[in-house]
Amino acid sequence: MVKIKRQSIFERHPKTTTSIIIFLLVIFMDILAAYVLSAVGLYQPQFKIERYYRVKHDVYHHTLATNISHSDAQWGPIGYRVNTNSLGFKDSAAREVKLESDKQRIVLMGDSFTEGVGYEYSETFAGQLDNALINRKIEILNAAATSYSPIIYLRKTEYLLNDIGLKFDHMIVFIDISDIEDEAIHYEFDENRNVIYAPSSKENELDERIKQFITQNTILLSNLRILLRKLKSDKGLSKKGIENSLNIHRGLWTHNEAAYKHYGEKGIRLALERMGKLSSLLKEKNIKLTIAVYPWPDQILHGELDSRQVTIWRNWAEEQNVGFINLFSAFLNGEKAEEVIKKYYILGDVHWNKDGHDLVAANVLKYLANH
């Protein structure tokens, strides 16, 4: 009986095996290069760049580092400068902010839209408000940071008022569409009433860890990921250039019943509860409160002038007797939805571009002039 020798995997699939080996070698060399070049100071992974100006906070989860002037901030393919003051707020320059001021002081609170990701302070609506109001002896302080939501709006404001002793006259909270998912899934209070990640925020943990590993430990793959994202956005130019800013799960609850049931109902309940506590806190301190709402590209495309986001917060503002700025009408202004999205939003992103910040600044200034 002739014994037949079994072929190895390489012999059965030489091309596939060779490709896998080459791919693994490339990854190994990429990781090694990132480690060596980072060690000698010739390369900074994106996470180290962000770690320089985005830091953990023991009370309200995360914030911006204090008194920095950093020219290498990054939002996707966009590079920009970040300056912060002594409170860890995005500002025109690194500077000391006194806890009390002889000027009227307005504190802005919100997430990445209000922080102004992708743009220097002077280009954001916060910076424009600051510049426009300075001659009226009104000071703007921007307490916002990316991925904030009402639980952090509340806890950070408590910290600023009660722990730090910051004095201000008016707070404007820009409530984002994504706040509802953050409230339902991503954040909770610990036993000491400090904000922490909720266990439910780990639903997509493996996928996020893979992305994080690539971003933090490679050069070639990290930049390839950025390039592919950029090419994907550019490809959208032939299809009106807006596809990559649409159908994002965090923003669907206003018109998608499945998303509304999944996280919308719970998120709204928690957001209203925490904003109610924030309203009570500010009333105790005799501080004026105004809230503002604005659309993502999805709400513009669906023509949601009277969106759930608008009706929920308008009704809440009336009940609480606080100010209300509705920016939906500024964006849903009669122009074609696709043209509005192209004009005011970063390509392939839900965030405003420079023109979007200009529009928001103009409308907030108009509101302040009349109130």
Confidence band of 323 (pLDDT split at 50, 70, 90): very high
What pLDDT shows up at residue 236?
A: 45
Confidence band of 7 (pLDDT split at 50, 70, 90): low
Mean pLDDT computed over 119-145: 97
What pLDDT shows up at residue 18?
A: 81
Up-side HSE of residue 209: CA atoms within 13 Å toward CB? Answer: 6
10 pLDDT more than 70: no
214 pLDDT more than 80: no
Q: Where are the domains of the chain?
A: 9-39, 55-203+237-370
Q: Which amino acid is at 298?
A: D
**Are 157 and 274 within 8 A, CB to CB?**
no
238 pLDDT more than 60: no
Q: What's the pTM value of the predicted model, to 2 decimals?
A: 0.83
Mean pLDDT of all residues belonging to the chain: 88
Residues 78, 86: Cα–Cα separation, whole Å: 26
What pLDDT shows up at residue 49?
A: 60
234 pLDDT more than 90: no
239 pLDDT more than 50: no
Mean pLDDT computed over 119-125: 98
CATH fit for domain 55-203+237-370, picks 1.10.600.10, 3.50.30.30, 3.40.50.1110, 3.10.50.40: 3.40.50.1110
Residues 240, 299: Cα–Cα separation, whole Å: 17
Q: In the 8-state DSSP scheme, what is residue 65?
A: P
181 pLDDT more than 80: yes
183 pLDDT more than 60: yes
Mean pLDDT computed over 56-80: 92
Say which range, 71-75, 174-178, 366-370, has the weakest mean pLDDT.
Answer: 71-75
